[in-house]
Amino acid sequence: MRPEVLNPLFAETETLDGVGPKLKKPLERLGLSRLRDIDYHLPERFVTRRAVENLDDAGEGEQIVVKLTVMEHRASRSPRAPYRVLAQDTLGNVLALTYFGRASYSAKKQLPEGETRWVAGKLERFGDTLQIVHPDHVVAKGSETLQRLCEPVYRLSEGLTQPRVAGLVEQALSRSPDLPEWIEPTQIDKAGWPSWREALTLAHKSENGPARDRLAYDELLANSLALMLVRADNRKRKGQPLRGDGTYRGKLELPFPLTGAQTRSIAEIEGDMAQDAPMLRLLQGDVGAGKTVVALEAMLIAVEAGAQAALLAPTELLARQHYETLRRMAAPTGAEVVLFTGRDKGKARESILMGLLDGSIDIVVGTHAIFQDAVAYKNLGMVVIDEQHRFGVGQRLMLASKGRHAPHVLAMTATPIPRTLTLAQYGELDVSKLDELPPGRQAIDTVVMGQAKIAALVDRLAAQLAEGRQAYWVCPMVREMDGPEEIAAAEARYAALKDRFGEDVVMVHGQLAPELKDAAMERFARGDAKMLVATTVIEVGVDVPNATLMVIEQAERFGLAQLHQLRGRVGRGSEKSFCVLLHGETLSETAQKRLALMRESQDGFYLAEEDLRLRGGGELLGTRQSGDTAFNVANLEQITELLPKAHDDARLLMDRDGGLDGKRGAAARVLLYLFERDYGVKTLRGG
């Protein structure tokens, strides 16, 4: 049950004055459906203005507030030309207030000739004329404008204005209760942080570092605490110790000898599986580092010990690929491997369900279907989750209910995660790392070129296809958005390449129906199609050894980790592979560095750390590119600096301050519900 003190914060936005069905929609587009969401809709930046007596006191480019007398309105014959209102200051300096489009209607109302008004905005020069384009505020009395000398700027969606959002924030804050203190007192004193409610108010008023840090720390503490509770609960659960005798693993015929990193990871997994407490381990491996082999060894340990194993993949396509690989590798061992997805119907489905129940199936590979209520196992002892970031903590917990004992869980990700973020996303897991590539994996030549050379590139592509090779062409978005014309949409690029190469080209993107997507992917995987035009849906897991060329259009729009993932789709066979990064005309300094790093290095862990450094306080993983990090308040710098402290504080609460039962524990419960990490509380009550 959510603590009562939080009820006002979880009230719907319609309880605020002025919010009806019409305003509710743009608010929901921003993810603002409750008062709590509006409280945490923090300003992106602040505009700081200076009140000046006259224009001689102001500099160009400065945000000012000045008192003006309106002289005349000058409309233009062309609707595209600006509408100008001429006004003068107390010394007679003339200023043009410039409006475009429909904004001129408000100018006519707000600025009657001969009247005095206080105007706020950015002072600019156009030719010989001083001007303010689209003033932020025009008011008859100065006091209101002068109070807005430091003004928050919020993220908006269509149908919302800055004053409207600011008004809703004010209402939401006034209804927010005082909450008990959940942070360790010495940490508050040392950092000089305000209370929770005061921090929220200050964060909406000005660039207040301590207030923003305090709010970020709350979020990081909630996350750390929830993951610790999950981990503690997992340790208390009764697992089944599984010790293999090597009978199955001894028969494996692997394509390459195991690397040192693979041998080390398998030993760590074997050690965990022999314990009473169920394993919770994350296997991080760079593209092509051989995670599947490690997963198979782990699953065979379970089979040798008389239990069953399951591999959960996020998509049907990935499940199918894993199944083919595992079936081929496990064939010499005699282990029975099956594929089970939502598509299996009738007798085929019944036969799999019976095999899982009577234990004749050793390893099942599939999507969420393998954990439906109808699916029962004789003895599920081991679960492998692929592409861990697609499954949240809640789903990781759900698996525990499928075995007589909680199964051992090995989560895998091909997204190298910087050390800082591993703690944030996977705090309840032990981590194994595959940081060596198997022998035989070829280096991929990476070339950076401008969009202008696209014709020559297509000719080069034609030569590759003529030799029987295959290629990927990745675009950043599906359709032309309202953006610069050069944004290459997958559909437009597909049409152009289809003109040249005909039926050899197929397309996949996130908005295609699943069956069409699968059909296109299968044609490409079989080699019936030579080129796959795609958005980033192919980022993870597609394995076509004959594909030797990867073209990434507008590469500057992707994060490093994502570029590295995409590049890893080629170089899987014995032929030399290439990755071409096409970029637009103008490149930011960060984009230039990013593309240079791609050319220099193929080490995903190094690139992930560098990407973090380059982006600084930007969005956590590129354009939300690699898994949802569950942080809305904390930015990257705050995560790097405050997360270790929050982690220690959470441990202190668990070990010394009586967990959630002590006085601070009661406050921590409020925190967990405030950030909706209540799965942490629920684990205490048994799931």
pLDDT of 480 strictly over 80: no
What are phi and psi for residue 592, nearest 5 degrees? -60, -45
Q: What span, in angstroms and rounded, lies between the C-alpha atoms of 363 and 379?
A: 11
Q: What stretch of H or E contains 508? A: strand 505-508
| Mean confidence (pLDDT) of the chain | 85
User: Same CATH topology for 249-434 and 444-601?
Assistant: yes
Give the mean pLDDT of 497-523.
86
Q: Please report which confidence band the pLDDT of residue 488 belongs to, taking 50, 70 and 90 as the band edges.
A: very low
Q: Please report which confidence band the pLDDT of residue 420 belongs to, taking 50, 70 and 90 as the band edges.
A: low
The CB-side HSE value for 307 (13 A sphere, CA atoms) comes to 29
Q: In Å, how far from its chain's centre is CA 352?
A: 36
Give the mean pLDDT of 526-547.
79
pLDDT of 621 strictly over 60: no
pLDDT (0 to 100) of residue 537: 63
User: Is 51 in contact with 146 (CB distance < 8 Å)?
Assistant: yes
Highest mean pLDDT pick, 22-36, 538-552, 585-599: 22-36
Which runs of consecutive H residues, i.e. helices, occur in 507-619?
Answer: 514-526, 560-567, 589-600, 604-615
CATH number of the 47-153 domain: 2.40.50.140
Residue with more model confidence, 618 or 523: 523
Residue with token string 């675009």? 475
Give the mean pLDDT of 282-296.
86
pLDDT single digits (tens) 427-471: 667 888 888 777 767 788 999 999 889 999 999 999 999 999 999
Residues whose CB falls within 8 Å of the CB of residue 353, separated by 6 or more in sequence, listed in order: 374, 375, 376
pLDDT (0 to 100) of residue 669: 93
What does the domain layout of the chain look like in residue ranges? Answer: 47-153, 249-434, 444-601
Two tokens, residue 305: 């010990």
User: Is 341 in contact with 367 (CB distance < 8 Å)?
Assistant: yes
Q: Which fold has domain 249-434?
A: Rossmann fold (3.40.50)
Which runs of consecutive H residues, i.e. helices, occur in 63-148?
Answer: 103-110, 142-147
Q: What is the DSSP string of 159-210?
A: T--HHHHHHHHHHHHHTPPP----S-HHHHHHHTPPPHHHHHHHHHHS--HH
pLDDT single digits (tens) 64-95: 999 999 999 998 888 788 999 999 999 999 99
pLDDT (0 to 100) of residue 580: 95
CATH number among 3.40.50.300, 3.10.50.40, 1.10.645.10, 1.10.3300.10, domain 444-601: 3.40.50.300
- Specify burial of residue 18 (Cβ count, 10 A radius: 0-12, 13-18, 19+): exposed
Burial state string for 101-120 with b = 16 or more CB within 10 A and e = fewer than 16: eeebeebeebbeeeeebbbb
pTM: 0.65
pLDDT single digits (tens) 400-419: 566 678 889 898 887 777 76
pLDDT of 538 strictly over 70: no
Give the mean pLDDT of 49-72.
94
Residues whose CB falls within 8 Å of the CB of residue 512, separated by 6 or more in sequence, listed in order: 520
Closest to 627 (Cα-Cα) out of 635, 616, 619:
619
Residue spans of beta strands (DSSP E) within 270-390: 280-285, 308-312, 337-340, 363-366, 380-385
Cβ-based neighbour number of residue 290 at 10 Å: 22
- As a whole-number percent, the residues of the chain with pLDDT over 70 amount to 89
Q: What span, in angstroms and rounded, lies between the C-alpha atoms of 238 and 243?
A: 16
Give the mean pLDDT of 29-34.
93
